[in-house]
Structure 1
Amino acid sequence: MLGAEYEAIRLTLEDDAEGEVVATLVRRPCPGSRKAVLYIHGFVDYFFQTHLADFYVERGFSFYALDLRKYGRSLLDHQTPNFAHSMSDYFPEIDEAVRLIRADNDLLLLNGHSTGGLVSALWADRVRGQGLVDGLFLNSPFLELNVPAGVRRTLAPVVRALAKGRPTMVLPTGVSGSYVHSIHRDHDGEWDFDLTLKPAEGFGVRVGWLAAIIKGQRQVRAGLGIDVPILSMSSTTTVRGRNADFSTGDGVLDADDIAYLSTRLGRHVTCVRVEGGLHDLVLSAEPVRKKVFDELERWMTAYL
């Protein structure tokens, strides 16, 4: 539950093949400010990181967060959870959110996490030259699949072929709930969030969604032309295996791939590696997330 200082605005979008589509724009204003940040969450995720909002508001930024279509507060009963045919499916709600935010603000920082980082980068590349966004902060963006290169090469054509005929088919990925358990306060973590909206075992990885991810990542590898300063942050360590210690590094993505591919997003990219950082860096242990926020503040002071 969000406090009384937050407001949730429903954005009505064009229907898709499953019917009605909505997104949810969460808002926490900073009175008197003309600066804002828009946060976009990751896969099997939604906005609950209120301490992140605290950070921005304390520094004079009004805070906004999108629960994208078919995620979190925007998931409707008739919809396939977290599903999309293309990363550009999310552009209409980002467009509308930015339109609303820009009506009241002169400066906008876009903050994307994981899949939201990939979507944010692709959106920012699409609107380059329009002056809609002034900076991009990417928290462990999903720029590459966390599998060996040989597996990626084999997997991509198979996924594309399956997606044409059976886009909602669930892949047998063997996804573990270890990461979610490592951050939820009912298990090994300190954070409280709704396990029906962010379940430990996820909602299943569907081939149509994975094909869309692979296509977006291929665009990144080819090189984007984002024309605003970018801060890309990732852990120094990748954690693998069901019995690994998920409190010591990124247990979802390959941290080295994130750092390497971030340089292909634009010409003005700052890469920061955080020792002990979790996949969602702002959910790391307190000493680590302090480093995350210190680096973010330093970058914001320099470029915004």
Structure 2
Amino acid sequence: MSLAATPDVQAGLLLREWRRARRWSQLDLAMTAEISARHLSYVETGKARPSREMVGRLADALEMPLRERNALLLAAGHAPQYPEHGLDAPQMARIRQTIDCILRQHEPYPAFVMNRHWDILIANDAAIRVNRWLLDGRDSRHRNMLRHFFDPDDLRARVVNWEEVAGELLRHLHALVASTPSDLNARTLLEEVTAYPGVPSQWRRRELGSVPAPVLNVGFRHQGLELGFFSALTTFGTPRDVTVDELHVECNYPADAATAEFCLALKQRQDAGDTEAGGIPSPR
């Protein structure tokens, strides 16, 4: 086995990549993890293999997500600590029940369940209704929220404040890329969405010091009507599963009375079985 393939070296390289992504010196990380800087240096250079307990302390200090903690454990020659189950697995029954309750209770307003790459895993009926109205009765070809907003042939054409919304979404994506250096899917998504026509070239670079806004405001215009929403995110506070760690529920709230009334009217049409009124097909 070559030196480059040994667990000692692989763990050290991965740890160094994470430390540099945090813009920390070895001393910064050693002090935060409460270990000696010399021992950390030995770990990063492959002269010492970190124990499971040491990996946990370093991962805690670096605030690594569960998926990356497992990767660091594997790189160090240890078994992964955190399981990963699909949302339909029996072990996820309570999580799925909680999610379903949130989505139902949020009617008649849109709500989505997404993973950390903004792939839409579940959407409530309201989200489907509003999305189909905005797209003249058709479904989007994308299952990813960023692609929805950046594709000129998708929702982008309906967004009144597109530059504001797209800029905020990119701040979140840039933050993910910067904070999770081993996430190649996030990097690929960033390259893809910034390659769409009309995206300013400077958006491909992260704006240092820029912090994503806690609430995202989105305005839509279609068929002579304007809708306004603001969103809030819900995450699970103490996840012990990789899937749960990466989930977030986005609930859209009406920004004005007109939007609230429109969303209620769409639901009433669906409940009445009126698939023709306003060109709104039933999502069922």
TM-score, normalised to structure 1's length? 0.24
- Name the structure where strand makes up a greater proportion of residues: 1
> Which one has a bigger Cα radius of gyration?
2
The structure, 1 or 2, with the larger RCO (C-alpha pairs under 8 Å, 6+ apart) is 2
- Name the structure where helix makes up a greater proportion of residues: 2
TM-score, normalised to structure 2's length? 0.25
